[in-house]
Structure 1
Amino acid sequence: MKNIIELINQKKFLEAREELAKKNVVDIAALLSEIKDKELVVKIFRILPKDIAADVFSYMEHEQKLFIINSITDAEVANIINDLYIDDTVDFLEELPANMVKKILKNTDETTRAIINQFLNYPEHSAGSIMTIEYVDLKKEMTVEEALEHIRKTGVDKETINTCYVIDENRILEGIISIRKLILCDKNSIIKDIMKKDFIYVNTLDDQETVAKLFKKYDLISIPVTDNEKRLVGIITIDDIIDIIDQENTEDLQKMAAMAPSEEEYLKTSTLQLAKNRITWLLILMISATFTGNIIRKFEDVLQSVVILAAFIPMLMDTGGNAGSQSSTLIIRGLALGEIKSKDVLKVIKKELGVSLLTGIVLAFVNFIRLHFLEKTSLLISITVCISLFFTVVLAKVVGGILPIAAKKAKVDPAIMASPLITTIVDALALIIYFTTAKVLLKI
């Protein structure tokens, strides 16, 4: 890029254009993101060959897209929007303020404008909002030769031609066929005889996360989208699904860390916004932690009688919290991947009970050796701590396994039932077990 910048500074725009044309559009977008001088970014963008400018634009960062749209002429805006795939255009427009959307739409032709408005009316995160209409459709009466000729004529500006979609006169989706099969079949074969009639499709209103799961389950590279009458209205391609998986994973990680989800990059999010995203859950967890304090106050007589018991509270609470977090993380991931269903709650309890019994016995045994033989803690106190540790681990793992499934059944994101919340619940349970065990064994 340094060479290209030098050529531009020397006003050798034709040479710079030729150098840019040799590069991959993704690499050009990445290079533009590294340039701090916004005016230079616009200069470079303007000299890009027209046939790759829209592709580069689709990979650029949102802030740069906005600056370019505000810096170029209406005619240039129209060229970009008309050359972009519809799904990329919609993704960009969804992030813009209303006045910017109006500016862009007024520079598009009537047909494109109608299509974009239709896409913008689909619910957010639905299959309809992420699909594209750039696909190849075929008639079932066509021969293979006619189908291939049709693809040659119409497939140039389509997002993918790997899979073609067979429709009837009412646009009802009847089958799919791969370009590979078309090439290998006899040219006189009829499409309806060789098309695949058993295929996976989604409705325009299906959630994008459901669509992503279908891609993973069936190893798809594209999927047709139909309306309620099974009319073909668009397709979703794997590149959009990768973005969705990335978004969903980021959202789950943020929720598991007790933060409000945000799609903004960390370094580009204001300090105030980052604080807002975190403060709500911190307040909830802080207030819920008062229950732990109340439990300690309730058993104050136990602590005063055997002061050494207080020394083992952090270890019990930390171990219980960690045990619960391990289980919840695995269950949340299993639910997200579709490996675990809500109906599997009894299987999960059985599995976590078995794991917790094994881990609880090992942890309690090792802890007993450490306390009684190495630290010379009295036998009764060592037994009290180890019994409490065992039951805390068992309870923590079962609770960590059940809560995400309960959240799923209640139609709440299971990621909410993650480390911070489960740790708070397990802390309270650990203290109750500990002090109750101490009162019984130590006869306090």
Structure 2
Amino acid sequence: MLDTTQDIQTQLEANQYEAVRAQLAPMQPADVAEIIDELPDTYQAVAFRLLPKDEAIEVYEHLPRRVQEALLAEFRQPEVLEIIDRMSPDDRAQLFEELPAKVVNRLLPALSPAEREATALLLGYPADSAGRIMTSEFVTLRQGWTAQQAIEHIRQVARRSETIYTLYVTDDSRRLLGAFSLRDLVVAPLEQPLREIMNPDVIYVYTETDQEEAARLIQRYDFIALPVVDSERRLVGIVTVDDLMDVIEAEVTEDIYTAGGVQPAKDDYFQVNLWTVVRRRVVWLLVLLVTNTATSAVIKGQEEVLTQVVVLAAFIPLLIDAGGNVGAQSSTVVIRGLNTEDLQPSAMVRIIRRETLAGSLLGLLLGLAVTLWAYLLQGDWGVALAVGSSLFAISVIASFAGSALPFLFKSLKFDPALMSAPFITTAVDVLGVLIYLNIARIILGI
């Protein structure tokens, strides 16, 4: 893709616009959007203007939000309105959500009445809800229709629909009665009524349902689309798998940022300014800095031991780092299980017991290895046994803390990914040093 982008940039610089059109014509909209995104800012609008009008709408929906906003600033008002008006309602609502309010206020009244109503409806639902990302462009059928009538109706509305592979049956009040696939319709006898084809046991979500829950249902049942209903079970939209894949990607990104102590945000992390990056990272780094002073206090309180056997200090980083790694492994699997709902709070005792046992076995293996290594380095079995025994105890504590704290913070309505890391680090550092120096005191008879 990089070579193609460079070729197109060279052609644009030489004003070879027909060559650019010919090169972009056979490409998929998503690939064209990627190329435009990679072009220098001065050429993005030029390349976009070279696209046929129908293809330009699809390409625009695939562009990153910052590029969409930049193109809006470049276009004349009629061009802007035509692009916005022909976007799918869910993509338009997502764009409006991130545009400045004054821009939205200028664009919204200029849309066609139907598109303005559809967009306002979506923007009225809570952020991160299924209602916010649903589209109203779907096919509805009546249960009294025959298969032939349904096929004729689909032919009339297919081009205006987001997808026709899943079809929904409603009554005169738009209440959802059933659903079936396009395949079911095609293989059915033409005279067969839809009530005999449809499956009345429909999986659906409400407009207020969280996007993550909708994504889990799509993933669990391998759906292409999921119907969205209001409080009276009237069908008001559908969410499609492509939109929910974006939701899943965003949620996973947020979890990764959170686990790393970086404040998550909706914008592109690599496009924000440096001071914003620093502000998002500094909070938890300060928390860790303050809490780790407890480790310094423990070491100062055990100065007598370290003074008599100075070599003990050399193994402190090894022990707390190893314990931190064990705790991080336990917390990672538990946090991921809670986020995907593979783990339920009712399984807490079993999971903590299992992870603590795993930590004990890991501690035993690591403790034996580090005991031999410490003896080879120092030639003192007392020091070696103190290091090995401490690593075993630290591994048990770390695995217990790593598995228990996410459950604790989940029950307190805190984000386990955000809260667990600093507390596990603090627990392992403080308790690890305390255990190590006290075990050394006992074994060495200090």
Instruction: Please tell me the TM-score bracket, short chain as reference.
Output: over 0.9
**Offset at 1:148?**
1.0
- Equivalent residue for 2:202? 199
Deviates more, 1:55-64 or 1:123-132: 55-64
Using the size of structure 2 for normalisation, the TM-score is: 0.93
| Counterparts of 2:192 and 2:240, CA distance in 1 | 28
Match of 2:415 in 1: 413
> Helix, strand or coil for the counterpart of 1:325?
helix
Give 1:408 deviation, angstroms: 1.7
**Structure 2, unaligned stretches of length 5 or more?**
none
Could you tell me which residue of structure 1 aligns to residue 248 of structure 2? 245
Aligned residue number for residue 395 of structure 1 = 397
Distance 1:318 1:17, change over 3 A: closer
Per the TM alignment, residue 421 of structure 1 is displaced from its structure 2 partner at its CA by 3.9
Select 1:21's aligned residue among 18, 25, 28: 25
> What secondary structure is seen at the aligned counterpart in 2 of 1:235?
strand
Which stretch has the larger CA shift, 282-291 or 379-388? 379-388
Matched-pair contact (CA < 8 Å) for 2:177–2:200: yes
Which residue of the other structure, out of 299, 304, 307, is the alignment partner of 1:301? Answer: 304
Match of 2:133 in 1: 130
Task: Pick which of 302-311 and 91-100 moved more.
Answer: 302-311
What is the correspondence of 1:256-275 to structure 2 with a 5 Å cutoff?
256-275=259-278
**2:189 aligned to which of 181, 186, 191:** 186
Q: What's the counterpart of residue 101 of structure 2?
A: 98
How big is the shift at 1:424?
2.3
CA–CA separation in structure 1 for the residues paired with 2:287 and 2:344:
29
- Counterparts of residues 205-354 of structure 1 (less than 5 Å): 205-354=208-357
Q: Which amino acid aligns with 1:155?
A: A
Deviates more, 1:27-36 or 1:272-281: 27-36
Within the candidate set 403, 406, 409, 1:404 is matched to 406
Task: Say if 1:391 and 1:6 are closer, same or farther in 2 by CA, change over 3 A.
Answer: closer
Partner of 2:112: 109
CA–CA distance in 2 between the matches of 1:376 and 1:128? 66
Whether 1:51 and 2:54 are equivalent positions in the alignment is yes
Task: Kindly indicate whether the alpha-carbon contact (under 8 Å) linking 1:8 and 1:16 is maintained by their aligned counterparts in 2.
Answer: no
Residue 103 of structure 1 deviates from its aligned partner by 1.9
Q: Which moved more, 1:41-50 or 1:91-100?
A: 41-50
Q: Distance in 2 between matches of 1:135 and 1:399?
A: 49
Shift, 1:347, TM fit: 1.3
Tell me the equivalent position of 2:440: 438
Q: Deviations over 1:228-257 (max 9, x none)?
A: 111111111111111111111111111111
Distance 1:388 1:303, change over 3 A: same
| Equivalent in the alignment of 1:165 | 168
Uncovered stretches (5+) of structure 1, i.e. residues with no partner = none
CA distance in 2, matches of 1:288, 1:6: 58
Cα offset, 1:68, TM superposition: 2.0
Comparing 410-419 with 333-342, which one deviates more in the overlay?
A: 410-419
Deviations 1:254-273 (A, max 9, x none): 11111111233343121111
Instruction: State the Cα deviation string for residues 79-105 of structure 1 (Å, max 9, x = none).
Output: 112211111101111110001111221
**1:302–1:83 distance in 2 versus 1, CA, 3 Å:** same
Letter in 2 for 1:411: K
The answer to whether the 8 A contact 1:163-1:177 is kept is: yes
Deviates more, 1:258-267 or 1:95-104: 258-267
- Choose 71-80 or 324-333, whichever is displaced more: 71-80
CA shift digits 1:174-228 (9 cap, x unpaired): 1111001000111111111121122211111111112222222222221111111
Using the TM superposition, name which of 22-31 and 154-163 deviates more: 22-31
Aligned residues: 441
Of stretches 202-211 and 374-383 in structure 1, the one that deviates more from structure 2 is 374-383
Q: What does residue 424 of structure 1 align with?
A: 426
Q: 1:36 aligns with which of 29, 33, 40?
A: 40
SS of corresponding position for 2:159: coil
| Equivalent residue, structure 2, for 1:386 | 388
Identity of aligned residues (%): 37
Question: Can you list the C-alpha shifts for 1:81-134, whole angstroms capped at 9, x where unaligned?
Answer: 221111110111111000111122122012211221121121111111111111
Contact 2:137–2:162, Cα closer than 8 Å, also in 1 = yes
The structure-2 alpha-carbon separation of the partners of 1:8 and 1:196, relative to structure 1 and needing over 3 Å to count, comes to farther
For 1:7 and 1:410, locate their aligned partners in 2 and report how far apart those are by CA, in whole Å. Answer: 57
Query: How many Å separate the matches in 2 of 1:439 and 1:176?
Result: 72
Q: In structure 2, what is the Cα distance between the partners aligned to 1:141 and 1:309?
A: 83
Q: Which amino acid in 2 is paired with 1:414?
A: P
Specify the alignment match of 1:375 in structure 2: 377
Alignment RMSD: 2.0
Q: 1:41 to 1:353 in 2, by over 3 A?
A: closer
Partner of 2:86: 83
What is the CA-CA distance between 1:285 and the residue it aligns to? 0.8
Task: Return the letter of the residue paired with 2:337.
Answer: G
Q: Please give the alpha-carbon distance, in whole angstroms, between the structure 2 residues aligned to 1:147 and 1:141.
A: 10
Q: Structure 1 residues 310, 9: closer, same or farther in 2, change over 3 A? A: closer
Separation in 1, partners of 2:224, 2:47: 33
CA distance in 1, matches of 2:74, 2:98: 18
Contact 2:206/2:228 (<8 A) preserved: yes
Change (3 A) 1:437 1:8: closer
Aligned amino acid, residue 335 of structure 2:
I
Would the alpha carbon gap of residues 41 and 368 (structure 1) be closer, same or farther in structure 2, given more than 3 Å must change? closer
Query: Closer, same or farther in 2 for the Cα pair 1:110/1:361, shift >3 Å?
Result: same
Distance, in Å, in 2 between the alignment partners of 1:377 and 1:335 is 46
Q: Once the 2 structures are TM-superposed, how far is the Cα of residue 314 of structure 1 from its aligned partner?
A: 1.0
Contact 1:74-1:107 within 8 A present in 2 as well: no
Separation in structure 2 between the aligned mates of residue 63 and residue 367 of structure 1, nearest angstrom: 52
Residues 307-316 or 138-147, more deviating: 307-316
Taking structure 1 as the reference length, what is the TM-score of the superposition? Answer: 0.94
Asked if structure 2 preserves the Cα contact closer than 8 Å seen for 1:251 and 1:262, the reply is yes
| Contact residue 77 and residue 107 of structure 1 kept, 8 A | no
Distance between the aligned counterparts of 2:8 and 2:66, measured in 1?
25
Is residue 2:384 matched to residue 1:365? no
Give yes or no for contact 1:86–1:133 (8 Å, CA) kept in 2. yes
Tell me, what secondary structure is at the counterpart of 1:302? helix
